[in-house]
Chain A
Amino acid sequence: MRVQRLRLSQIRRFRGTLEIPDLSPGINLFCGPNETGKSTIARAIRAAFFERYRSSVLEDLLPKGEVPTSCSPTVEISFESGGQQHTLLKTFFAKKRCAYTRDGEVLDGEEAEEAISRLLGFGYAGKGASKPEHWGIPGLLWIEQGDGHRIDEPVESAADYLRTALESTVGAVASTAGDDVLATLREQRDQLLTPGTGRPRGAYQETSRELAEVRDLGAALDAQIAAYRDDVDCLTGLRAQHDADAKARPWEVFKAKLEGARQELVAAERLQGEHEQQLKNVSASSTNRELLAERLRTFSDRRAMLARRQEALVAAKQALEAAQAAAVQAEQRRDAAARVSDEARTRVALAEAEEKRRTLNERLDQASSEAARLEAALAKALEQAEELARHNATVDANRQSAADVEAAVRARDTLREREILQSAAATAITIALLPEIAATLDGKPVDPNSEHRITATAQIQIEGVGSIGVRPGDSDVADLARQVEEARAAAERALAKLGVASVEEARSRQDRFKQAQADAKAAEAMLGLTAPQGVDKLRSALAAATQTRAETANQLQALTAAPGGQSVDATEARAANAAAIERLEQASDAHLAAAKMLATAQAGEQAAAAEVGKLREAVDEAQSSGVEDDTQALLAKALADQEAAKAQAAELAKRIEQSQPDVLRQDVQRLQSSMEQSLATHNQRGNSIAALEARLEVAGANGIEEQREELRVREQALSRRLAELQLRAKALSLLVERLETKRQALTAKLQAPLQARLDHYMRLLFPGARLGLQEDLTPAVLERGVGTDAVDFGQLSHGAREQIALISRLAYADLLKEAGKPTLILLDDALVNTDSQRLDLMQRVLYDAAQRHQMLLFTCHPERWAGLGVPAREVAGFVRRDGAANLEPHVA
């Protein structure tokens, strides 16, 4: 298809006419800034083909301010296709019209529209404006502004046209209804089976579940029915036994036997009673016998006791006499001991007095010698104290400050230094006068042969001669003299402070002070030896010693002298006294013990006498009354009774053994139990029958077998339905599987040429990369070669999608061209997201495609497309200002 001429008027921006008369077969590049009408041209071409000329909803075509009643937007397109010349003229609104001329054949109105839609492969909207889903093949090849990256929807709406075209190319026979049938069957299959795993679902699953449920219910009912039948059989058996028992009455047999056993048991128990009585009798006689024997024993015991008591009485009397003798003796011994003790005590007192006197004499001697010693010490101490006081006085007299002494020494030394200096500086005057001549110096007589040194103006008077004035020449002499004076004054002051005339004197005073100090220290030490605690203490100690001596002397005088003047040893006396005391105590104890024993012996003798009296009385009583003989007779009788009872008991025991009462008792128990058991069993069976009857009644009323039959009806119906659904599911699965397999094979076949075209363009754009296709012929994944991951088309960048979508469209266009379909490619501001490097490649691609297809490319960036090898033409350059009226179709 090749558009040769394009003319439009009264459309949007073009109130007048725009005519492009000379479109070239390859790329036509139109440029112009925004709002110059590039998109209007694209819109006009779409409107001419896609919109029904009668449509009343295309108001967007009207120039601004125009109304449909007075305006007639018109498009006229002349093109060549399939070797034929075509012209399409469409006018909307006021003068609505459609005319289509094909090699001289003229078609009008809807007929024209149908013809053109068949030629290009698109459809019309049923109502309203045409939408992308109607655009078919042009929708795929005519790219609207901003839609360059989309490919799925355009391919989908072009799918039928594409497939038809492609089938004619590859010669494969696709199925017209195939996809619809497949979709229908898949939907039907999916109603019965889950799409993924093919498990039953929906009605199929429900039926299967219901069937299982019904079967479970059936099994439960079968169990109930079986139980019911068992119950019926059980009832039959129970009734037979019950009736048999009711007739035979087995418990009555047990009852009769029980009666017999009971009577035998009563007889046996009576024998047992008698036996026990006899045994009691034996036991009673035995007790009686023992009592009587005991009583006889009492009598003989009492007699023996009397004899023993009499002996005891004799012994007691002897003991009493012995005790009386012992008591007398003990008293005598005690008195003797008392006397000895008194004596010893007296001797002790004597010995102690003597001892004290001796002690006092010793103390008196001690006190006297102490007093003497203290008197001597005191005298010496007083002397020493006096000496100490003398030394201390010397010390006090010679006390002076050592610093003051030093100061005086320094002052004297200073004075000497100054005098030496003065002397050195002074004017020496040597006087050598005749010895009779008296002379004075400064008024003082001088030796006629002497030498003087003056430091100040001096006057030498020589009697008779007159005077000579001498004045030292150096001014320092005066100064030195002054200094000497000062030093002398200071030396005198220091000596004055010390109160001495000279330094030597101060020094000797210092020596005396030190000597006295040492002497005082020595004297103090001596005094410390004599009276370590001071003289006063010494004096009081002396007083105390003197007093002690006086007191002791007094005490001595007070002591009486020992009688007879004999000396007694105190220790010996004390030991003798202690021994005497001990002996006295022993004698006293012995005396007390003897007295006690005497009392005891007296009591014992009295008690023994009483016992003997009492026993004798009892023995005499028994003999006189004859009780003992009676008791003897009774004992003999008791023996006889016991023997008789024993014999009877033995007899009874033998009879009891024969009748076996224990066994009889067991018999009674056993028979009683058997009878009761038998009756209970009978009654229980009766109860069981009643219970069973009741249960069967209830179960029967439920009609379980009828229910079972009904369930079977349902079960069969469900089984049949399940089988049907199963078959249907299998058949549908089979169909879907077969159809899909075939369809896939076909699709693969159809894809091959498209893939080849894609590969061609990919080589130009992405050398080494490969674009995979989906079943619906849209791009699937981009593989950029080894080492990189394949990327889904949808995940590519906007720019890459735009480029790949465009080459896909070009590939479709190639295939359509091969199939003899008209191809025209419109690009309205395409590849805006593509970088310049890639754009270069894309221009390669477009240039290549333009060898086969006519291409109209609109852009506001002509410089981007400079590499296309075609001039960019300004849209504005095609506008004619000749108005919109009288636009007639150019019919070739």
Chain B
Amino acid sequence: MPRFLHTADWQIGRRYSHFDPDDAALLAEARTLVVEQIAALATDRAVDAVLVAGDVFDAQTVGDRVIRRLFAALSGFAGPWVMIPGNHDAALSESVWTRAQRLGAVPANVHLALTAGVISLEHCKAAVLCAPLTQRHTYNDTTDAFDGRQTPDGWLRIGLAHGSVEGILPSEIDSANPIASNRCQTARLDYLALGDWHGLKIVNERCAYSGTPEQERFRGNEPGYCIVVDVDGPGAIPKLEAVRVGRYQWLDLSLSVAVPTDIDQICARLASLAGDDVVQVAISGRTDLSGQRRLTEALGRAEAAVRSLRYDLADLLLLPTEDDIAALHADGYLAQVIAELRDEQANGRDAEQARVAREALAILCGALDTGVSSVSAVGATA
């Protein structure tokens, strides 16, 4: 019974500009490491082939080292790998693929479908119909040609394409090239392995997006998977199993402090974050100095625990109480200034003035309260 591992959108070479450069490097590295995971999984599940549905590379001109690393990462699976170029790594006259070939980096068991055609996998009697993207922007359905492709009788017909199945995905998808939603019928495909959509998505019983195996943005739509596809024989409905291979969990938290006890809940949530989490937190509402101090400490601890933490306290008003001010020994004109700033951060002329007032208040409180380090409204306390 033939078995395939369906994956896509590796986006090797992707950089993470929103992160601290050190974190960004680790996250970039994770994209190659997950390919090693996929190879291991393929070996573990004894699949007949790994189908990679495009966007292996994030860009055409990635460094030679990145190319070599990627192909080296495939060594964990000795069976055939079938890859098609996607919109990020389209098979142009000169492309990341031609460079890989020139470098001699492509192992013999990797079948690169740089032109539309059929790749025959004798050992499992499967014909892989490939619809690579060969232009930077493609606007027509490259799977049209599948309908007329002849394959040996009794062989499986497996489609491999990169694009957007018409009518089922949100409009914000990556590539412009459409794929007819009834392609499996018209081309008599047993399975159509798709790439481009970064989340796991089963389109129908014979067609699915595996999504990217390693998450690379906060928008969560079930990334981190690949699909093990079992096909009994030609015409049979394939059995699909989504297997999680991604390491990092990307969390986008939006938290609010309405009452003082909310601080406790937020601290608890922050404490629950794990080491492979990539987190961005926005906290809004209002707090006194002690609340701010606790939040700051909780953020500091969370930051030490997780892969990456970014927070935004721009919408969290700092409202020192009379007790706070007394505790800071802020008397005389210092107390007046604190009161003014406290007022301005809430009722400033504009957002910018309010932000500056809030920052000024934090700095002033920090300078007075040598026990608590000054906490800026945004940033990482690295």
Given contacts A175-B332, A175-B334, A713-B21, contact A706 B364 (CB under 8 A): no
- Which among B21, B63, B333 is the interface contact of A175 at CB below 8 angstroms? B333
- Which among B61, B331, B341, B363 is the interface contact of A700 at CB below 8 angstroms? B61
The answer to whether the Cβ of B349 comes within 8 Å of any Cβ in the partner chain is no
The chain B residues found within 8 Å of chain A, CB to CB, are: 13-21, 24, 58-64, 66, 92-96, 99, 102, 136, 329-337, 340-341, 355-357, 359-360, 362-364, 367-368, 376-379
Q: A228-B61, A731-B359, A745-B333 are in contact. List 17 more A-B contacts (CB 8 A).
A: A173-B333, A176-B332, A178-B332, A228-B60, A232-B93, A701-B63, A702-B61, A706-B15, A706-B63, A709-B58, A717-B17, A724-B379, A728-B363, A730-B359, A735-B363, A735-B364, A739-B337
The answer to whether the Cβ of A887 comes within 8 Å of any Cβ in the partner chain is no
Q: Is the CB of A709 within 8 A of B59?
A: yes
The answer to whether the Cβ of A771 comes within 8 Å of any Cβ in the partner chain is no
Complex CA gap A231/B359 in Å reads 50
Given contacts A228-B61, A706-B13, contact A181 B94 (CB under 8 A): no
Please report which residues of chain A, range 141-191, place their CB below 8 angstroms from some CB of chain B when the two chains form the complex. 172-178, 181, 184-185, 188
Complex CA gap A720/B21 in Å reads 12
Please report which residues of chain A, range 733-775, place their CB below 8 angstroms from some CB of chain B when the two chains form the complex. 734-735, 738-739, 742-743, 745-746
Determine how close the nearest CB of chain B comes to the CB of A807; give it in whole angstroms.
30
Given contacts A236-B92, A701-B99, contact A727 B333 (CB under 8 A): no
Complex CA gap A730/B358 in Å reads 11
Determine how close the nearest CB of chain A comes to the CB of B126; give it in whole angstroms.
32
Complex CA gap A146/B19 in Å reads 67
Find chain A residues with CB under 8 A from B19 CB: 713, 717
17 contacts between A and B (CB under 8 A): A181-B367, A229-B136, A232-B93, A693-B94, A700-B60, A702-B63, A703-B13, A705-B58, A705-B60, A706-B15, A717-B19, A717-B20, A717-B21, A727-B377, A731-B357, A731-B362, A738-B337
Q: Is the CB of A700 within 8 A of B99?
A: yes
The answer to whether the Cβ of A570 comes within 8 Å of any Cβ in the partner chain is no
Determine how close the nearest CB of chain A comes to the CB of B59; give it in whole angstroms.
4
Q: Is the CB of A734 within 8 A of B360?
A: yes
Q: Is the CB of B16 within 8 A of A713?
A: yes
Q: Is the CB of A738 within 8 A of B340?
A: yes
Complex CA gap A228/B63 in Å reads 15
Determine how close the nearest CB of chain A comes to the CB of B21; give it in whole angstroms.
6
Q: Is the CB of B368 within 8 A of A181?
A: yes
Complex CA gap A735/B345 in Å reads 13
Find chain B residues with CB under 8 A from A177 CB: 329-330, 334, 368
Complex CA gap A724/B59 in Å reads 31
The answer to whether the Cβ of A732 comes within 8 Å of any Cβ in the partner chain is yes
The answer to whether the Cβ of A882 comes within 8 Å of any Cβ in the partner chain is no
Q: Is the CB of A185 within 8 A of B332?
A: no
Determine how close the nearest CB of chain A comes to the CB of B137; give it in whole angstroms.
11
Mask, A221-253, CB within 8 Å of B = 1, is 000010011011101100100000000000000
Complex CA gap A229/B378 in Å reads 38
Complex CA gap A178/B364 in Å reads 11
Given contacts A175-B330, A714-B21, A738-B337, contact A185 B364 (CB under 8 A): yes
Complex CA gap A763/B21 in Å reads 71
Complex CA gap A743/B356 in Å reads 21
Q: Is the CB of A184 within 8 A of B17?
A: no
Find chain B residues with CB under 8 A from A716 CB: 17-18
Determine how close the nearest CB of chain B comes to the CB of A783; give it in whole angstroms.
29
The answer to whether the Cβ of A697 comes within 8 Å of any Cβ in the partner chain is yes
Determine how close the nearest CB of chain A comes to the CB of B224; give it in whole angstroms.
22
- Which among A174, A703, A746 is the interface contact of B66 at CB below 8 angstroms? A703
Please report which residues of chain A, range 679-722, place their CB below 8 angstroms from some CB of chain B when the two chains form the complex. 693, 696-697, 699-706, 709-710, 712-717, 720
Determine how close the nearest CB of chain B comes to the CB of A736; give it in whole angstroms.
10
Complex CA gap A235/B98 in Å reads 13
Q: Is the CB of A185 within 8 A of B363?
A: yes
Find chain A residues with CB under 8 A from B337 CB: 735, 738-739, 742
Complex CA gap A730/B20 in Å reads 24
- Which among A236, A693, A700, A727 is the interface contact of B376 at CB below 8 angstroms? A727
Determine how close the nearest CB of chain A comes to the CB of B91; give it in whole angstroms.
11
A185, A717, A734: residue with the most chain B Cβ atoms closer than 10 Å: A734
Given contacts A705-B60, A730-B356, A742-B333, contact A184 B367 (CB under 8 A): yes
A-B pairs, top 10 by smallest CB distance, nearest first, are: A703-B63, A175-B332, A709-B15, A742-B333, A705-B59, A731-B359, A731-B360, A716-B17, A696-B94, A712-B17
A184, A713, A724: residue with the most chain B Cβ atoms closer than 10 Å: A713
Mask, A355-377, CB within 8 Å of B = 1, is 00000000000000000000000
Find chain B residues with CB under 8 A from A723 CB: 378
- Which among B329, B363, B376 is the interface contact of A176 at CB below 8 angstroms? B329
Determine how close the nearest CB of chain B comes to the CB of A688; give it in whole angstroms.
13
Given contacts A701-B99, A727-B355, A728-B359, contact A174 B364 (CB under 8 A): no
Determine how close the nearest CB of chain B comes to the CB of A240; give it in whole angstroms.
9
Find chain B residues with CB under 8 A from A225 CB: 61
Given contacts A697-B99, A709-B15, A713-B24, contact A739 B61 (CB under 8 A): no
Q: Is the CB of B93 within 8 A of A239?
A: yes
Find chain B residues with CB under 8 A from A700 CB: 60-61, 94, 96, 99
Find chain A residues with CB under 8 A from B64 CB: 701, 703
Complex CA gap A349/B259 in Å reads 182
Find chain A residues with CB under 8 A from B335 CB: 175
Find chain B residues with CB under 8 A from A728 CB: 359, 363, 376
Find chain A residues with CB under 8 A from B102 CB: 697
Q: Is the CB of B333 within 8 A of A743?
A: yes
Find chain B residues with CB under 8 A from A188 CB: 363
Determine how close the nearest CB of chain A comes to the CB of B350; give it in whole angstroms.
13
Find chain A residues with CB under 8 A from B363 CB: 185, 188, 728, 731-732, 735
Find chain B residues with CB under 8 A from A702 CB: 61, 63
Find chain A residues with CB under 8 A from B59 CB: 705-706, 709
Q: Is the CB of B17 within 8 A of A724?
A: no
Given contacts A239-B93, A735-B337, contact A709 B332 (CB under 8 A): no
Q: Is the CB of A742 within 8 A of B336?
A: yes
Q: Is the CB of B364 within 8 A of A181?
A: yes
Q: Is the CB of B93 within 8 A of A235?
A: yes
Determine how close the nearest CB of chain B comes to the CB of A509; give it in whole angstroms.
160
Q: Is the CB of A706 within 8 A of B333?
A: no
Q: Is the CB of B61 within 8 A of A706?
A: yes
Q: Is the CB of B61 within 8 A of A703?
A: yes
- Which among B136, B329, B334, B356 is the interface contact of A739 at CB below 8 angstroms? B334
Q: What is the chain B residue whose CB lies nearest that of A693?
A: B94
Q: What is the chain B residue whose CB lies nearest that of A224?
A: B61
Find chain A residues with CB under 8 A from B367 CB: 181, 184-185
Determine how close the nearest CB of chain A comes to the CB of B167; give it in whole angstroms.
32
Determine how close the nearest CB of chain B comes to the CB of A170; give it in whole angstroms.
12
A717, A723, A735: residue with the most chain B Cβ atoms closer than 10 Å: A735
Determine how close the nearest CB of chain A comes to the CB of B26; give it in whole angstroms.
12
